[in-house]
Structure 1
Amino acid sequence: MMQSKWILCSCGRAQHDQPSPEQFGKCCHEKISPLLWRIPILVWSLSIMCWSLSQFWGPLELFPLYMTHWGLLLIAMEITLGIIVTLKAPTMRYNDATFGLPWYVKVYWLLYNVTIPVAFLITVFYWGILKSSGKIEKYAPNPVLDVMLHGGNSVVMLVELLCSAHPSRVLHIFQPLLFALAYLLFTVIYYFAGGQDPWGNHFIYPVIDWSRPQHTLVVVALTGLFLALMHLLVVAAAAARDALARKLRSTTGIYNDGFGEEP
């Protein structure tokens, strides 16, 4: 009897800490399907990707150099998997008695945790640092595309954040930071391998120039701190979203545990 009671209590805590798989395919407002915003975002991301490729300012093999394009690819991947999760939501269940989420839900949650703060970072970094440096006129041959790449990205991810039903958690802060670290290591390797940008410079961005390591490390450190702040703001926004959704419903709504277990 004691053992059975312990198992039931343990399962109850696991269920409380771990969101249900169905949450990832739902809107915080029960009567709205996530397909209403996820399909348009997918169309937007693929359209902007094609437009960016057609308007790229250098050889296409250099297209993957830029964080902006990494962020755009993240949006397309995250929203595609979000659509798949939405379509599978009615039949989703926990994988096992430990309440493990299906693998595709875990991957979606990981991409969600990375893509949203990175999109906000790209917008602020571009307009606040790169644009103000006065050294990037060549990076924006089309002003409308410029806004779509460095502003539209944050708008569509804000929609994803404010309309989704699953939680964001403080403990997942390492996920966007690891992504940023991967890009940082890429810039270091590219520099020491003798890589150049489309205009023959030995850097990808003028403010991340490893020939000036002290200046670059300061920029990198501040950028990392800002990305961490963006993640915390995402967690706060998700908590506020869920609190509002609960208030608008007479029954208990979505539980957003910012300190729960990892996906």
Structure 2
Amino acid sequence: MGVKKYFKKEFQWSNFGLEYDIAPDFYLGCWQRNRSCVPLLCLRAILCAGNVAIVVASWALLANVLSSHGFWWIYLTHWGIVANALTATFAFAISLKVYFSGPIESTFGLPWYIKLYWFLFNASVPVAFMITLFYWTFISGAFDIPGLNVTLDVFVHGINSVMMVLLLISARHPTRLLHFHHTVGFGIFYLIFNIIYYYAGGLDPNGNVWVYPMLDWSNPGPTVLVVVGVAIGLIILHCVVVLIALCRNHFSRRFRKDRSFSVSG
């Protein structure tokens, strides 16, 4: 009965967009019992610094290994860590604004910067999971890159997801099933870039016509199947994120002794 009620409430056209009535849910931690923005502010400061550090370290170290800083931008992994850094930065900025300026008013809708953060959150968390799973399943060990920093490799393809999990399980704002298009949209945007890069004659650092061997547009049949599989995978991972958020809401509300539990967030 609860599941039916959840899906009935979740699958409403209004949930397709970025409208929400409770602005404090974007700067209060789900595990705190008070109304202070400081606990989440502190955590978000650490996550922001960590994600930005990963991007800077990757740019500084890996770009030299790739022989040109231009090659750094052709990889989905690097798009993903940039998205993570932007998400964590906006989260930190929202908490910082509340700390200095007071509660955010949402009578006439959420401010643009909260909506942008929400969109980035919806896109970056499942993509981070996909990058981690895809890399360690299909790519790790398949390439011999001289000078590759193993520690950086772990941070870029593993710790990236850990940081996004921390952002997810500490947040209080909802994660909607109908926001799957944010995640898929991110993937489509990279796909368009990948196709344009191929037909423009772009090469990888080793002179290959593909950025990833499984995305070889000179052999479009299997490549299209991979693209479809990744799209389905992103939708599944988005659903996993939603499920984690529901569990988070349930246990955090019990922790706060709040009996007004609603599965929709």
User: TM-score, structure 2 length as denominator?
Assistant: 0.84
Where does 1:133-152 land on structure 2 (aligned, <5 Å)? 134-138=141-145, 141-152=148-159
Q: Which amino acid aligns with 2:253?
A: R
Task: Check whether the contact 1:21–1:92 (CA below 8 A) recurs between aligned residues.
Answer: yes
Match of 2:40 in 1: 34
Structure 2, unpaired ranges of 5+: 1-13
Counterpart of 1:125 in structure 2 is 134
Identity %: 35
Amino acid of the residue matched to residue 114 of structure 1? Answer: A
* Aligned with residue 57 of structure 2, among 51, 57, 68: 51
Any conservation in 2 of the 1:28–1:254 contact (CA below 8 Å)?
no
Off by >6 Å, runs of 4+ in structure 1: none
Secondary structure at 1:42 match in 2: helix
Rounded Cα–Cα distance in structure 2 between residues aligned with 1:167 and 1:246 = 13
Question: Cα RMSD between the aligned structures?
Answer: 1.9
Contact 1:245 1:254 survives alignment (8 Å): no
- Map 1:106-117 → 2, pairs under 5 A: 106-117=115-126
Shift of 1:249: 2.4
Other-structure match for 2:26 = 24
Structure 2 match to 1:9: none
**How far, CA to CA, are the matches of 1:95 and 1:203 in structure 2?**
49
Deviates more, 1:80-89 or 1:229-238: 80-89
TM-score by length of 1: 0.85
Q: 1:250/1:44 Cα in 2 relative to 1: closer, same or farther (>3 Å)?
A: closer
State the 1:250 CA deviation: 2.6
In the alignment of these two chains, the number of paired residues is 238
Q: Which amino acid aligns with 2:22?
A: S
Q: In structure 2, what residue type is equivalent to 1:91?
A: P
Gap change, CA 1:242 and 1:252, over 3 Å in 2:
same
- Greater Rg by CA: 1
Q: Does 1:161 align with 2:163?
A: no
Aligned counterpart in structure 2 of residue 173 of structure 1, from 171, 174, 180: 180
The 10-residue stretch of structure 1 (50-59 or 109-118) with the greater mean CA deviation from structure 2? 50-59
Determine the structure 2 residue equivalent to 1:92.
104
